[in-house]
A and B are shown apart, each in its own frame.
Chain A
Amino acid sequence: GAVVSQHPSWVICKSGTSVKIECRSLDFQATTMFWYRQFPKQSLMLMATSNEGSKATYEQGVEKDKFLINHASLTLSTLTVTSAHPEDSSFYICSARGRSGGGPVLTGELFFGEGSRLTVL
């Protein structure tokens, strides 16, 4: 089945630094990727929708200047947490839907990456 790979799986950084998380679709073209954030014992909250070749669509309350999303190719989307602070510590998960067989119809299933646990000291 389709695989989405996320890297790194965990990162610890100092407050004020920036962290980049990569999300790759390994065996399909992901025209749309979604970035979720999950705090402990809570649900997955959608942060933004990343569209290949265009600007990301951010959910209400998510700072686009703080969470930079780039979807430069059909297999890679990146999330950069800029000037990270302890309250940004969370589990960040990307997910993707591809085009089955290269055709126009998106597959229904949402494939998740392994997640990246960010800890900001």
Chain B
Amino acid sequence: QQPVQSPQAVILREGEDAVINCSSSKALYSVHWYRQKHGEAPVFLMILLKGGEQKGHDKISASFNEKKQQSSLYLTASQLSYSGTYFCGTEGGNGNTPLVFGKGTRLSVIA
């Protein structure tokens, strides 16, 4: 089942923060986050495998609440390069299954 992402779209000024949420109606094995620029393939950001896990790289981080079956992606001090559509992909069962992607969150960072 497709995870639900929110918000659908967000506009930020450079330096502002944003949170993108991803929730599922089913138990999750893992959550993956990707960013896609227009006309390009998705680019991997990070994967969260364990409930309670938090990860970060540079100013982008994410958390995975296994019990609540949801994950959040945090973008701090946003840069123009952060613009794009963010997708969460979820995996159920014991893993080794195809990712099911949410509808995406369109992020626009303006100067």
A residues at B contact (CB < 8 Å): 6, 32, 34, 36, 42-46, 49, 93, 95, 97, 106, 108-115, 117
Contacts and interface: CB of A to CB of B under 8 A. Distances in A.
A2 B49 CA distance: 20
Interface residues of B, number: 23
A110 B89 contact: yes
B51 interface: no
Nearest to A36: B101
Contact of A108 (B30, B34, B87): B30
Most chain B beta-carbon neighbours within 10 Å: one of A6, A106, A112: A112
Interface of B: 2, 30, 32, 34, 39-44, 47, 49, 87, 89, 95-96, 98-104
B98 A43 contact: no
B44 A46 contact: no
Contacts, number: 51
A4 to B, nearest CB: 9
A88 B46 CA distance: 31
B96 A112 contact: no
24 contacts: A32-B96, A36-B101, A42-B103, A43-B87, A43-B102, A43-B103, A43-B104, A44-B101, A46-B99, A46-B100, A49-B98, A97-B96, A106-B95, A106-B96, A109-B32, A109-B47, A110-B89, A110-B99, A111-B44, A112-B34, A112-B42, A114-B40, A114-B41, A115-B40
Contacts of B87: 43-44
A77 B39 CA distance: 22
A113 B96 CA distance: 19
Given A93-B42, A108-B47, A110-B44, 13 more contacts: A6-B41, A43-B103, A43-B104, A46-B99, A93-B41, A106-B95, A106-B96, A110-B32, A111-B44, A112-B41, A113-B41, A114-B41, A117-B39
